[in-house]
Amino acid sequence: MRDLVIIGGGPAGMSAAVAAYESGIRDILILERDARLGGILQQCIHNGFGLHKFSEELTGPEYAWKYEKQVLDRGIECKLNTMVLDLSADKVITATNETDGIFQIEARAVILAMGCRERAKGALNIAGSRPAGIFSAGSAQKYINMKGCLPGKNVVILGSGDIGLIMARRMTLEGAKVHAVCELMPYSGGLARNIEQCLNDFDIPLKLSHTIVKIHGKERVEGVTIARVDETRKPIQETEEFIACDTVLFSVGLIPENELSRAAGVELSPVTNGAVVDQDRQTTIEGIFSCGNVLHVHDLVDFVSDEAEIAAVAAADYLHGKGARTVCIPLETDGKVRYTVPQRITRKKDVRLYFRVSDVYRNVNVTVTDGEKTLFSKKRAKVAPGEMESIVLKQELIENVDKLYVSLEDA
């Protein structure tokens, strides 16, 4: 029986391990499927990480090293090259690696830090052939940054989220020609600075309200047909345009990898595709916590580390028999606010509420009510789906409520 097992050794897992250690827990085990710690940061060689956390502009591997060093310095146990196959409701973990074979571990507390996977092109039902030269953006990034291989020379990218934008620049820097980044929505899902630094700086056209309607090519991609879409996001046939290319990158969404959570019976939110949690990031199963991209997809790794610290401190409290739940206050949203994390509040204390909005809104008040009375209101000049927001709800605001309602009102 181990005190704390952390599934995933990326930024969430490492930050959680260090925070748990600092809270007095010593029996910690990180299970990581890759050959080293760091998670997806290993292949994110661009900078921009750590601006909030360290006031530095770090690359992904540099940010990862900050935590990896802390894990190593504290002698926290890690099993690398180890894939977790199953998690049960009573916290029995089944995992496999080359040296131990398939083994089981029981844990008193578990922190889920498995990150997320990319939505595949196949899920989009795009017509055409299935030639070589089609990659998810993350896969292409792995080939270039970790394996020194160039996926292709003439590229079209679908999806203007951060990964699509970063890869537009990355491919260009390695000598490929990126002909266009197409984006289904009328706005980009990525950070504003990435539009500047990845597209505008390289004269790569961003085609908003466009999608790929067909892929051409028998053995290798030969081109794509793109088209403008209407307000219902249906392609407009008259606007079809052929772009010759040999490579298509799909950056069409990240999906938290909750297969293990589902196996354990943890309640998942259909909006975030991650666990339903309270302010301590505890799931609906006592002693199982969730943080990082597996809980909800983050834009900034700095917030992942913050969230992992919250989960780890709570896990430590749990192991020390502290931090009882005294209330259960559910949070609801108005649809303009797409979701909040946490989805419920179970202790009376200050809570930092993270949320995402469903569209671009300007001049709004982020409003929290108890169903009748406004408890909190903060003006925002602009909020967008691609930028996670947060507000702090002070303890005194939520003393006597049994439900909270989060919305955007016109300012």
Partner 1 sequence: MYDVTIIGAGIVGAMIARTLSKYDLKICILEAENDVAMGATRANSAIVHAGFDAAEGTLKARLNVRGCALMPDICRELGVRYENNGSLVVAFSEEERATLRELFARGKANGVPDLRIVEREELLEMEPNLSQNVLCALYAPTAGIVCPYSLAIAAIGNAMDNAADLKCNFKVSAIRAGEGGYFVCSQEETVKTRIVINCAGLYADEIAKLIGDDSFAVHPRRGEYILLDKDCGHLFSRTIFRTPSALGKGILITPTVHGNLLLGPTSQNGTDKTDKDTTEEGLSKILQSTQECARSIPAQKTITSFCGLRPVGDTGDFIIRSPKAGFLHVAGIESPGLASSPAIAEYVEELLSDMIPLTPKADYNPIRESTLAFADASLAEKNRIIRENPAYGKIVCRCEGITEGEILEAIRKNPKARDLDGVKRRTRAQMGRCQGGFCGPAITELLARELKIDETSVTKFGGDSAVLAGTLKGGAQQ
With binding defined as CB under 8 A, does residue 410 bind partner 1?
Answer: no
Question: Of 301-330, which residues contact partner 1 (CB under 8 A)?
Answer: none
* Residues 255 and 117 sit within 8 Å (Cβ to Cβ): yes
* CB atoms closer than 10 angstroms to residue 250: 26
Q: Which of 49, 67, 135, 376 binds partner 1 (CB under 8 A)?
A: 135
* Residues 134 and 215 sit within 8 Å (Cβ to Cβ): yes
Question: Of 100-129, which residues contact partner 1 (CB under 8 A)?
Answer: 100-102, 117-118, 120-125, 127-129
Distance (Å, rounded) from C-alpha 288 to C-alpha 333?
Answer: 25
Closest to partner 1 by CB, 21 vs 135, is 135
With binding defined as CB under 8 A, does residue 339 bind partner 1?
Answer: no
Closest to partner 1 by CB, 4 vs 163, is 163
With binding defined as CB under 8 A, does residue 214 bind partner 1?
Answer: yes
With CB under 8 A as the contact rule, which of the stretches 195-203, 213-221, 295-303, 378-386 interacts with partner 1? 213-221
DSSP characters for 348-400? SS-EEEEEEESS-EEEEEEEEESSSSEEEEEEEEEE-TTS-EEEEE-GGGGTT
Closest to partner 1 by CB, 136 vs 269, is 136
To partner 1, the closest distance from the beta carbon of 84 in angstroms equals 9
Closest to partner 1 by CB, 121 vs 347, is 121
165 is written with which tokens? 């934008």
With CB under 8 A as the contact rule, which of the stretches 8-16, 136-144, 200-208, 321-329 interacts with partner 1? 136-144
What letter would DSSP give residue 8? -
Closest to partner 1 by CB, 246 vs 278, is 246
Alpha-carbon torsion angle 31, 95, 39, 314, nearest 10: -50
With binding defined as CB under 8 A, does residue 218 bind partner 1?
Answer: yes
What letter would DSSP give residue 297? -
Q: What phi and psi, each to the nearest 5 degrees, are found at residue 359?
A: -155, 175
Closest to partner 1 by CB, 33 vs 356, is 33
Using CB under 8 A as the criterion, what x/- string covers residues 143-172 for binding partner 1? xx-xxxxxxxx-------------------
To partner 1, the closest distance from the beta carbon of 51 in angstroms equals 28
- Please, which residues bridge with residue 329 across strands? 345
With binding defined as CB under 8 A, does residue 92 bind partner 1?
Answer: no
- Among residues 129, 136, 119, 160, the alpha carbon closest in space to that of 223 is found at 129
With binding defined as CB under 8 A, does residue 130 bind partner 1?
Answer: yes
- Among residues 323, 352, 324, 328, the alpha carbon closest in space to that of 340 is found at 352
159 is written with which tokens? 């999806």
Q: Residue 105 is inside which H or E element, if any?
A: strand 101-112
Q: Which of 1, 55, 98, 373 binds partner 1 (CB under 8 A)?
A: 98
Closest to partner 1 by CB, 270 vs 321, is 270
To partner 1, the closest distance from the beta carbon of 74 in angstroms equals 28
Question: Of 26-55, which residues contact partner 1 (CB under 8 A)?
Answer: 33
Q: Which of 24, 26, 73, 83 binds partner 1 (CB under 8 A)?
A: 83
Q: Which of 136, 269, 273, 333 binds partner 1 (CB under 8 A)?
A: 136
Using CB under 8 A as the criterion, what x/- string covers residues 225-264 for binding partner 1? ---------------------xx-----------------
Closest to partner 1 by CB, 129 vs 374, is 129
Alpha-carbon torsion angle 122, 127, 133, 138, nearest 10: -30
Query: Exposed, middle or buried by CB within 10 Å (0-12, 13-18, 19+), for 216?
Result: middle
To partner 1, the closest distance from the beta carbon of 395 in angstroms equals 40
With binding defined as CB under 8 A, does residue 96 bind partner 1?
Answer: yes
C-alpha distances (whole Å) from 359 to each of 88, 197, 332, 397 are 37, 23, 17, 28
Query: Exposed, middle or buried by CB within 10 Å (0-12, 13-18, 19+), for 392?
Result: exposed
What is the side-by-side strand order in the sheet with 337-341?
A: 337-341, 351-357, 389-393
Query: Exposed, middle or buried by CB within 10 Å (0-12, 13-18, 19+), for 390?
Result: middle
Q: Which of 99, 232, 326, 400 binds partner 1 (CB under 8 A)?
A: 99
Q: Which residues bind partner 1 (CB under 8 A)?
A: 33, 81, 83, 85, 96-102, 117-118, 120-125, 127-133, 135-136, 138-139, 142-144, 146-153, 174, 176, 213-214, 218-220, 246-247
